[in-house]
Amino acid sequence: MLPEIDDRHQELFRRALPFLRTRHNAVHTRVAYGEARWLLRRHPDADESVVLPAILLHDVGWSAVAEGELSTAFGPHMTNQALQRLHETEGARIAAGILAELGFAQPIVDAVVAIVDGHDTRTGARSLDDALVRDADRLWRYTPAGSRIDAQRFGFEADQHLAWLERNLDAWLSTPAARQRARDYLDEARRSAPQRPGGTAQRAGSGR
Ligand SMILES: [Fe+2]
Ligand SMILES: [Fe+2]
């Protein structure tokens, strides 16, 4: 079941949805929003008035990338860094427009735009709010929905995919809370993975 969008963010999400039609982004955004709320409960110093709009809008810029080019712009087979960067700069532009239309205060708009513009290509987080958005976005990969979708679109066997997630966990996630949550997701995925007679997990999503 997908996380609910809080009443106060419904209008924002509704405005974002037309820009989230590719790359399973509507599902990705809802799942990442749920992860952000979970992280915010463990980080009371963070500013949820920035983090939650930022996570809802962080990937609206993928709408500017042609469907046929998406597979080159993210994931383990990424070859086109310029397109990955484009989704950030277009995302920042689109996010600024949506937030302004909805009357968000300028300091919130500026903070959200600064996070969106670089959320994938920046090497590190600039602030706690930035770190929580980045971690919520990347935690998606470890969630049941994200893990299933990614394994299928990246062409991974289930066990190969889990190994890839485990190998990158500390590099992708920065807060201890997010790292622990990712480990918990991995443990759960391993417990529930169907096993072949030889002990190897089946291909992700096969026959389901
Ligand atoms: Fe992104
Ligand atoms: Fe994302």
CATH number at residue 114: 1.10.3210.10
Can you give the pLDDT at residue 14? 98
Domain that holds residue 26: 7-191
Cα(44) to centroid of ligand 2, in Å? 23
* Ligand showing the shortest atom-to-Cα distance for residue 28: 2
Residues forming a β-bridge with 149: none
The answer as to whether 39 is a domain residue is yes
Residue 71, token pair as written in the block: 């597979």
The answer as to whether 2 is a domain residue is no
DSSP state of 69: G
Cα(76) to centroid of ligand 2, in Å? 15
Alpha carbons 1 and 31: distance in angstroms, whole number: 9
The answer as to whether 68 is a domain residue is yes
**What average pLDDT does the chain have?**
92
* Ligand showing the shortest atom-to-Cα distance for residue 133: 2
Can you give the pLDDT at residue 160? 93
Residues 128/46, Cβ–Cβ less than 8 Å: yes
Cα(133) to centroid of ligand 2, in Å? 9
Cα(166) to centroid of ligand 2, in Å? 19
Is the pTM for the entire model greater than 0.85? yes
* Ligand showing the shortest atom-to-Cα distance for residue 33: 2
Residue 110, token pair as written in the block: 């500026």
**pLDDT, greater one: 121 or 198:** 121
* Ligand showing the shortest atom-to-Cα distance for residue 29: 2
Rounded mean pLDDT, 133-162: 94
